[in-house]
Amino acid sequence: MDFDYQYFIELFASGLTKGSIYALIALGYTMVYGIVGLINFAHGEIYMIGAFVFFLASSLLTVLGLPLWAMICIATAASIFWAGGYGYTVEKIAYKPLRSAPRLSPLISAIGMSVFLQNYVMLGQTEKYLGFPEVIPEFDFLEPFATTFSSSDFVIWMTTVIVMLILTWIIKFTRTGKAMRATAQDRTMAELVGINVNRIISATFIIGSALAAVGGILISSHTGSIHYYIGFIAGIKAFTAAVLGGIGSIPGAVLGGLVLGMAESFATGYFSSAYEDVFAFSLLVLILIFRPAGLLGHAETEKV
List of residues contacting other proteins (CB under 8 A): 38-39, 49, 52-53, 55-57, 59-60, 62-63, 78, 82, 85-86, 89, 93-94, 97-98, 101-109, 111-121, 123-126, 128, 130-131, 232-233, 236, 239-240, 243, 272, 274-275, 277-278, 280-282, 284-285, 288-289, 292, 302, 304
With respect to other proteins, which residue has the nearer C-beta, 9 or 56?
56
Q: Are 170 and 176 in contact (CB under 8 A)?
A: yes
Question: Rounded to the nearest 10 degrees, what angle do helices 250-270 and 151-173 cross at?
Answer: 160
CB burial of 266-282 (b: ≥16 within 10 Å; e: otherwise) equals: bbbbeeeeeebeebbee
Q: Which residues contact 27 (CB under 8 A, 6 or more apart)?
A: 167, 208, 211, 250, 253, 254
With respect to other proteins, which residue has the nearer C-beta, 15 or 84?
84
With respect to other proteins, which residue has the nearer C-beta, 47 or 86?
86
With respect to other proteins, which residue has the nearer C-beta, 158 or 286?
286
With respect to other proteins, which residue has the nearer C-beta, 170 or 236?
236
The nearest distance, CB 288 to other proteins, in angstroms, is 6
Other C-beta atoms lying within 10 Å of the C-beta of residue 31: 25
The nearest distance, CB 8 to other proteins, in angstroms, is 25
Q: Are 272 and 221 in contact (CB under 8 A)?
A: no
Closest Cα partner for 131 from 48, 225, 228?
Answer: 225
The nearest distance, CB 177 to other proteins, in angstroms, is 25
Give burial (CB, 10 Å; 0-12/13-18/19+) of 104: exposed
Distance CA 39, CA 110 (A): 8
The nearest distance, CB 29 to other proteins, in angstroms, is 10
The nearest distance, CB 128 to other proteins, in angstroms, is 8
The nearest distance, CB 265 to other proteins, in angstroms, is 17
With respect to other proteins, which residue has the nearer C-beta, 106 or 256?
106
